[in-house]
């Protein structure tokens, strides 16, 4: 019987990296799509700029007006979109792999609601600045992630228990968020609702750098534990037999996923369903086993940028927040996923 081997690239003695040609092709196409959508998004707005002029301006050959619009107003927004989408896609892939459940995403587990709670506390109780709101969202996401982990722990964290605990925590935090809104004055309530929608409008370099540093710090940690994560998908007993320190890997990657999700929410608000859909779409395109971390990350960035560009093209600049677009599309995808899982007898 003829067998097909996955090509391996030898990095140094004793270490090799397996290459999946289809996965590499998917990643390359997604990167190209994300870059093309980014160029189009930079040129979209009340003052349209052709794609060629955008490229010339990015290369340093634009006129002063285009330089200001591109580099100061629109480029930071696009970079925040790419980083937020990548963070959500990677965080969603980690949670779905750890829980071994396609519903195990930050949207379902309540991490977005936890970050929203932290932001609402700062807005409603302290009328905090944008930076303080971001810090509050980050703290709320981390606290919610810790609560879910502790409540789901019982000789380890496993599958449906993590999802069910997350759904319960999400319901409690959502109720708390509603209570906070009822206690806010009209100005703070309006500000909170705008933030809760999830938007890339008004984003500048102050949101780019912290999220870029967070992604740069966590990405090597996540990819360095990718092999252990893939082993855990075969079951804890098999993983232990292969020398994987299961709970250590799971805890490190859960903390990383929580920080990625909380950081993305702090930068752009709770943009819904990117973390749920990106890993599933990436898996279907690559047809590769395992968590598909890099394809999920690139898919998340592409989804968010394309959604933002589509909303601006259809409704005008900043008329429809990107969180509304991803929420509608992601909600439809979630319904389809639930029907598919039910027909397969998995739920």
d(CA 322, CA 303): 10
Are 143 and 267 within 8 A, CB to CB? no
Band of the pLDDT at 328, cuts 50, 70, 90? confident
| Domains of the chain with CATH codes | 23-338 (1.10.3470.10)
Query: Is 108 a residue whose pLDDT tops 70?
Result: yes
Q: What is the pLDDT of residues 159-199, one digit of tens each?
A: 677 788 888 888 999 999 888 888 888 888 888 888 888 88
Would you state the pLDDT for residue 194? 80
pLDDT in tens, 251-306: 888 889 999 998 998 888 888 888 888 998 898 898 887 788 999 999 999 999 99
Which residues make beta-bridge pairs with 10? Answer: 16
Crossing angle for the helix pair 75-99 and 293-315, to the nearest 10 degrees? 140
The pLDDT score that the predictor gives to residue 11 is 46
* Continuous segment of H or E residues that includes residue 101: none
């Amino acid at each position: 019987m003829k067998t097909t081997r996955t090509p391996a690239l030898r990095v140094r003695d004793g270490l090799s990296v397996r290459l999946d040609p289809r996965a590499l092709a998917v990643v390359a196409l997604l990167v190209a799509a994300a870059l093309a959508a980014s160029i189009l998004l930079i040129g979209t707005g009340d003052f349209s700029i052709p794609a060629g002029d955008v490229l010339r301006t990015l290369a340093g050959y634009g006129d002063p007006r285009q330089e200001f619009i591109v580099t100061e107003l629109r480029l930071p927004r696009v970079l925040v979109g790419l980083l937020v989408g990548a963070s959500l896609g990677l965080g969603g892939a980690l949670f779905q792999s750890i829980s071994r459940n396609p519903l195990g995403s930050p949207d379902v587990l309540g991490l977005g609601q936890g970050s929203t709670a932290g932001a609402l506390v700062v807005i409603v109780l302290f009328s905090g600045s944008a930076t303080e709101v971001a810090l509050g969202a980050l703290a709320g996401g981390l606290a919610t992630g810790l609560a879910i982990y502790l409540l789901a722990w019982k000789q380890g964290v496993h599958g449906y228990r993590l999802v069910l605990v997350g759904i319960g925590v999400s319901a409690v935090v959502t109720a708390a968020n509603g209570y906070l809104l009822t206690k806010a004055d009209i100005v703070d309530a309006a500000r909170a609702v705008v933030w809760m929608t999830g938007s890339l409008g008004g984003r500048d370099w102050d949101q780019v750098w912290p999220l870029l540093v967070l992604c740069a710090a966590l990405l090597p940690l996540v990819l360095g534990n990718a092999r252990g994560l893939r082993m855990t998908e075969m079951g804890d007993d098999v993983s232990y037999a292969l020398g994987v320190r299961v709970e250590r890997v799971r805890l490190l990657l859960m903390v990383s996923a929580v920080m990625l999700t909380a950081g993305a929410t702090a930068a752009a608000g709770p943009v819904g369903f990117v973390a749920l859909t990106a890993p599933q779409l990436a898996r279907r395109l690559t047809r590769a086993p395992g968590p598909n971390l890099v394809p999920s990350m690139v898919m998340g960035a592409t989804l968010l940028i394309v959604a933002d560009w589509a909303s601006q093209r259809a409704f005008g600049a900043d008329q429809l927040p990107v969180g509304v677009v991803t929420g509608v599309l992601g909600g439809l995808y979630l319904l389809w996923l639930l029907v598919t899982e039910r027909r397969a007898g998995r739920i």
